[in-house]
C-alpha cells in the first residue's frame, strides 16, 4: 500500500487514480415530481427513497442514481431497468467504449462519495450538489482487479434482482388472492385442485394468510396469475 495525495489515503501499489467522468456520462431527468404517476409503465426515481411511475422512458440499462437535492442529497442507488428521472436526480451510466466497471464505481461511490456529498455541498435551506461533485470524484483503478470484482458482483446483483422480482410477484399474489378468498370468489381448495392436489384439508382465512406469507419468505413457489399458485418447487 502507498499513500496517494489525490485521494488522501493509501491505495494498493500499482493502482491508478481515475475520475468518474473518465468512464461515465452523467445526466439528470427533465420532470418535476408532480409529473410522476401512481401507476405507469416505468419506474420514476426522485431524490426520495422508493419510486413512483412514468409512462415515458428516459434511459434503460444499468445506472447509478444519486439524489441531487433535499433531505436525501447524496443518496446513491444502483438500478438495472428502464426508468424516468426527477430533474434534480443524477444518473451515472457507462460510456459505450469503456471498461465494464459501473458496479465497482457504484460501491466506491457508496463508500466515499456519499459521505462527502451527503447533506449537500451547496445551499443552506435546501442543500444540493452539482455536476462536478460527481464528475470530478476520484477513485483507485486497476483493470485486472476490477474485472475480477465485476465477475463476482454481477452474479450477486443478478441473484438479488431475481429474488426481489419473485417477492414482488408473491406480494401481488397475496394482495389479489386474499380479497377473493375472503369474499368467497375462490377457495384455496379450488386452487390446489386445479393444480392436481386431490387430498387437502379445509383452511381458515387466517391460515391462508399465514400460508401466503410463508410463501413470501421461503420463495419456493412461482406465481402464474392473480388467482392461482403453481405448487411445483423452483430450481434453487
pLDDT in tens, 208-228: 566 666 655 554 444 333 333
Say how far apart CA 102 and CA 150 lie, in whole Å. 9
Residue 84 scores a pLDDT above 90 = yes
Axis-axis angle for helices 205-218, 143-182 (nearest 10)? 170
pTM over 0.75: no
CB neighbours (10 Å) of residue 223?
Answer: 19
Residue 186 vs residue 23, higher pLDDT: 23
Q: Give the pairing of strands 76-85 and 59-67.
A: antiparallel
Q: How confident is the model at residue 60 (pLDDT cuts 50, 70, 90)?
A: very high
Cell numbers 420514476 correspond to 44
Nearest partner of 197 among 232, 163, 171, 164, judged by Cα: 232
Say how far apart CA 12 and CA 1 lie, in whole Å. 4
Which of the residue ranges 40-44, 112-116, 117-121, 143-147 has the most confident prediction, judged by mean pLDDT?
Answer: 40-44
By residue count, the chain amounts to: 236
> Among 21-25, 46-50, 96-100, where is mean pLDDT lowest?
96-100
Q: Which three cell numbers stand for residue 7?
A: 485521494
Say how far apart CA 103 and CA 100 lie, in whole Å. 8
Say how far apart CA 174 and CA 213 lie, in whole Å. 8
Q: Give the CA dihedral 224, 226, 232, 236, nearest 10 degrees.
A: 80
What are the counts of helices (DSSP H) followed by strands (DSSP E) for the chain? 7, 12
pLDDT at residue 199, rounded to an integer: 45
> Among 11-25, 35-49, 81-95, 174-188, where is mean pLDDT lowest?
174-188
Radius of gyration for the alpha carbons in the chain, expressed in angstroms and rounded:
23
Q: Dmax over Cα atoms in the chain, in whole Å? A: 72
226, 184 contact by CB (below 8 A): no
pLDDT at residue 68, rounded to an integer: 87
Mean pLDDT of the chain: 78
By three-state DSSP, how is residue 90 classified? strand
For residues 151-160, give the mean pLDDT: 87
End-to-end CA distance of the chain: 41
Amino acid at each position: 500500500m502507498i499513500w496517494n495525495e489525490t485521494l488522501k489515503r493509501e491505495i494498493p501499489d500499482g493502482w491508478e487514480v481515475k475520475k468518474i467522468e473518465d468512464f461515465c456520462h452523467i445526466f439528470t431527468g427533465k420532470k418535476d415530481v408532480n409529473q410522476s404517476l401512481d401507476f405507469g409503465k416505468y419506474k420514476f426515481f426522485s431524490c426520495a427513497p422508493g419510486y413512483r411511475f412514468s409512462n415515458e422512458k428516459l434511459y434503460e440499462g444499468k445506472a447509478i442514481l444519486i439524489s441531487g437535492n433535499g433531505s436525501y442529497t447524496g443518496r446513491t442507488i444502483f438500478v438495472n431497468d428502464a426508468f424516468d428521472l426527477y430533474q434534480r436526480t443524477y444518473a451515472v451510466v457507462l460510456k459505450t467504449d469503456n471498461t465494464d466497471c459501473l458496479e465497482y464505481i457504484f460501491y466506491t461511490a457508496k463508500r466515499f462519495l456519499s459521505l462527502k456529498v451527503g447533506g449537500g455541498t451547496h445551499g443552506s435551506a435546501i442543500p444540493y450538489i452539482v455536476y462536478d461533485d460527481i464528475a470530478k470524484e476520484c477513485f483507485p483503478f486497476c483493470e485486472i482487479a476490477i474485472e475480477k470484482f465485476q465477475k463476482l458482483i454481477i452474479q450477486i446483483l443478478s441473484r438479488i434482482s431475481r429474488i426481489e422480482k419473485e417477492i414482488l410477484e408473491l406480494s401481488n399474489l397475496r394482495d389479489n388472492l386474499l380479497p377473493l378468498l375472503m369474499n368467497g370468489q375462490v377457495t384455496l381448495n379450488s386452487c390446489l385442485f386445479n393444480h392436481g392436489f386431490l387430498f387437502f384439508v379445509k383452511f381458515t382465512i387466517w391460515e391462508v394468510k399465514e400460508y401466503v406469507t410463508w410463501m413470501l419468505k421461503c420463495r419456493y413457489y412461482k406465481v402464474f396469475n392473480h388467482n392461482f399458485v403453481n405448487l411445483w418447487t423452483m430450481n434453487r
